[in-house]
A = this chain, B = another copy of it.
Amino acid sequence: MSNEFELDFNRSDRLGFPEVIYGASKPLPVLRDILQSYQEKGLNALATKVQAEKGQVLTQEFAGSHYDETSGAFLLKKIESDESESNGVAILSAGTSDLYVVNEAYYTLQFLGCHAARYNDIGIAGIHRLLGKVEELKKYKVLIVVAGFEGALPTAVGGLLPQPIIAVPASVGYGVSEGGQVALNTMLASCANGISVVNIDNGYGAAMAAYRILANAS
């Protein structure tokens, strides 16, 4: 083959955040090589959607790494648990079915050095659960809202809270909602104002969008 991997190490200088590795379609040896080239430069790294059998091997091979099996996020960085003082990003979802997306957003924000807090089990079938949290949620600068099935949670949040809202459809559901396309379209068509949306299951992209806001718009 005529050329080697040419990683974009100086993206951080250009944009303020580093390149991230899409782990799903890369075989283990390729992932290992890429991660090592980061480690040798003393850089942190994040690989997303790494399947369990690959993630478990990498965790053992890279000291100081962290692998979240629910989301497939693999971090070459120490995780600091400082959610208590969180005032950055709140990640809202309806329950355990969406956790794989919530965690991808959460660990990406950890990787970027942002505070983030997770609020699970805020589904709109029991709207009182959201209503009871409205005051608490006002302290965050950005809200990421994850939902599968019919994806109505961001609409409800958007009618109650004024912050930037990044909606993430989750591929959780069956029948017409299988694959997440209905949740995506619901979020795009929402009658609540000013919600913006990322790709289905793209917790990572939502975190990056939140980071762009936190780092540049203040």
Contacts and interface: CB of A to CB of B under 8 A. Distances in A.
Interface in A128-177: 129, 141-142, 149-152, 155-156, 158-166, 169, 171-177
A197 B196 contact: yes
A15 interface: yes
A197 to B, nearest CB: 5
Contacts of A123: 191
Contact of A188 (B160, B193, B199): B199
B189 A142 contact: no
B152 A1 contact: no
Given A129-B6, A211-B194, A184 B189 contact: no
Give chain A's interface residue range (CB within 8 Å of chain B): 35 or more
Nearest to A90: B2
A25 B97 contact: yes
Interface in A1-40: 1-3, 5-8, 11, 14-17, 19-20, 22, 24-27, 30
Copies of this chain, how many? 8
Contact of A150 (B19, B125, B185): B185
B162 A216 contact: yes
B217 A202 contact: no
B172 A25 contact: yes
Nearest to A83: B2
B127 A159 contact: yes
Contacts of A173: 189
A212 interface: yes
A209 interface: yes
Contact of A155 (B2, B125, B141): B125
A108 to B, nearest CB: 10
21 contacts: A3-B121, A17-B193, A24-B174, A125-B192, A127-B159, A150-B191, A152-B190, A163-B217, A164-B213, A165-B212, A175-B180, A175-B188, A175-B202, A176-B200, A178-B179, A185-B186, A186-B186, A188-B202, A196-B198, A196-B205, A217-B218
